[in-house]
Amino acid sequence: MLVVSAFFIYRNAEQATEQSLKMQAIGITITLNSVLQNSDIKELKRQGSTIFSEILIDERWEGVAFISLYSSEGKVVFHSNPALIGQKFQEVIPLFKEKTPYYHYLTLSTGEKVFVTDTKINLDEIQYLLRVALHTYPVQSLVRHAKIHMLFLAFSAVFIILAGFFTIKLLSKIEKMQNRMKELENLSMLSRVLAHEIRNPLGSIKGFAQYLMKKISEPPLKEYLDIIVKESLRLERLTDDLSQYANPQSINLQRVNLMELIHETVLPFSIEHKEIFFELQVEEVSIKTDRDKIIQILNNILQNSVSALSEVEEKRISIKSRKINGRIKIEISDTGIGMDEEILKKAKEPFFTTKPKGTGLGLAIVGRLCEILKINLEIKSKKGQGTTVCLTLLESL
């Protein structure tokens, strides 16, 4: 019932917008027609009068995009933009056969969509076409606010229950999609489907939940809304990871100081995880590569290392870099739980994860970015003995 009501509210709002524009256009058309009927059209044409542009300057005509008068040959007789007077527009000629007033929308060269009313008028026994174009945003803005208010009233009463149910369904849909990912060859198309089918409703869920958290004071309801927001953020991270894996951006090469870059990447981790000892042995070397992609690679590896240290007493991450035979080798080692041979073989596969809430795309993204930047990626690990990730880079791509 609420869905049907919301649909009628939407339709009524759209109809109210167009009706308001029609009424405004009719009023302006009648006024202009009266002005022209009481003027000597031949004298105005002879003088090249800018009557329409002068009218448009008047603040009473706010909301008018432009006004024009066309002859039956499509020639501009008057225009609020004097530069267009005398030009011909062939697309206007068929409108003389239409029943007027004729209402339609027109897209300007600026990209703005305006509401247009075309009306045939007779001046000195000659037929002309009077066109009035209106900006739509003043009316639409008012209607949009009214529509949002009404929709909010309709949905707020049942939102908490529906949002929770919808989030669970959405999580279920994501899990099913993960199981089908390997069967789909075109990951780029899949990412576009996710962006369209998941991000839009997910954004609405999160946005309304955050809005209601500010409006609702009951602790139990705020707790439920907080769960909805957190789960929505988790789904956003999943779609972001998938987009990065399926559609990595183009390479942006620049000269990078590797020592500074590694220190910059490690700093946030060392501040957030004070229980972990970070050991850095990094040579100062300059390389030409994509700075943002290198940072993303290091971030994903360090995040995995931090997660691997959660269940061990000795928490240490070592980062070493050195130049060997014209190549740069970076080693990131941790004293975490490590991986057995079976898990190590699947570590770089998309959607494979041993974490309860992991997306399984961290190392898969690292692998994709390494391919793009021509970085040799090697992972060494043993159960209970930690993991070492080796990156071998070219000095210049």
Per residue in 313-326, pLDDT tens? 899 999 999 888 88
Same domain for 327 and 203: no
Q: In this structure, are 160 and 67 located in the same domain?
A: no
Q: Are residues 198 and 76 in the same domain?
A: no
Residue 322 included in any domain: yes
pLDDT at 7 over 60: no
Q: What is the CA radius of gyration of the chain?
A: 32
Do 292 and 378 belong to one domain?
A: yes
pLDDT of 249 strictly over 60: yes
State residue 54's pLDDT score: 64
- Rounded to an integer, the average pLDDT of 337-364 is 76
The answer on pLDDT for 56 being more than 80 is: no
Same domain, 259 and 317: yes
DSSP characters over 127-171: EEEEEEEEESHHHHHHHHHHHHHHHHHHHHHHHHHHHHHHHHHHH
Helix, strand, coil share of the chain (percent; to 5)? 55, 25, 20
- What's the confidence (pLDDT) of residue 184? 46
Closest CA to 62 of 147, 137, 141: 137
Residue 44 CB: number of other CB atoms within 10 A? Answer: 17
Strand order in the sheet with 316-324: 277-282, 316-324, 327-334, 386-394, 376-382
Which of 185 and 296 is assigned the larger pLDDT?
A: 296
**Better-predicted residue by pLDDT, 7 or 290:** 290
pLDDT of residue 113: 87
Assess whether 14 and 102 both reside in one domain: yes
Domain check: are 44 and 85 in the same one? yes
Q: Is residue 81 part of a domain?
A: yes
Compute the mean pLDDT over every residue in the chain, rounded to the nearest whole number: 79
Provide, rounded to the nearest whole percent, the portion of the chain with pLDDT above 70: 72
Higher pLDDT, 201 or 308: 308
Stretch 347-370: mean pLDDT: 74
Provide the pLDDT for residue 395: 77
| Residue at a domain's end among 228, 246, 264 | 246
Confidence of residue 292 (pLDDT cuts 50, 70, 90): confident
CA distance 270 to 272: 6
Confidence at residue 275, expressed as pLDDT on a 0 to 100 scale = 92
Both 41 and 75 in one domain: the answer is: yes
Q: Would you say how long the chain is, in residues?
A: 397
CA geometry: angle at 173 spanning 171 and 178, to 5°? 95
Both 87 and 216 in one domain: the answer is no
pLDDT attached to residue 12 = 61
Q: Does residue 149 sit within a domain?
A: no
Contact 332, 303 (CB under 8 A): no
Residue with more model confidence, 235 or 76: 76
Band (pLDDT 50/70/90 cuts) for residue 90 is very high
Are residues 213 and 230 both part of a single domain? yes
Q: How far apart are CA 225 and CA 205, in angstroms?
A: 10
Q: What does the pLDDT average to over 84-111?
A: 89
Q: Is residue 346 pLDDT above 60, yes or no?
A: yes
Question: Is the domain of 232 the same as that of 314?
Answer: no
Same-domain status, 10 and 60: yes
Q: Is the pLDDT of residue 46 over 50?
A: yes
Tell whether the torsion through CA atoms of 272, 277, 283 and 287 is positive or negative.
Answer: negative
- The answer to the question of residue 144 being in a domain is no
Residue 223: domain span? 156-246
Give mean pLDDT, residues 181-191. Answer: 55
Longest dimension (CA), the chain: 98
Question: E strands along the chain, which residues?
Answer: 64-71, 76-79, 102-107, 113-123, 126-135, 253-257, 277-282, 286-290, 316-324, 327-334, 376-382, 386-394
* 140 occurs within a structural domain: no
Of 195, 228, 246, the position where a domain reaches its end is 246
Average the pLDDT over each of 211-215, 233-237, 321-325 and give the range with the smallest value: 233-237
Residue 194's pLDDT band, with cuts at 50, 70 and 90, is: low
In a domain, 145, yes or no: no
CATH code (residue 303): 3.30.565.10
More reliable by pLDDT, 350 or 279: 279
pLDDT value at position 284? 86
Residue with the bigger pLDDT between 129 and 363: it is 129
Is residue 261 included in any domain, yes or no?
yes
In a domain, 146, yes or no: no
Provide the number of structural domains found in the chain.
Answer: 3
Given 246, 281, 296, the domain boundary residue is 246
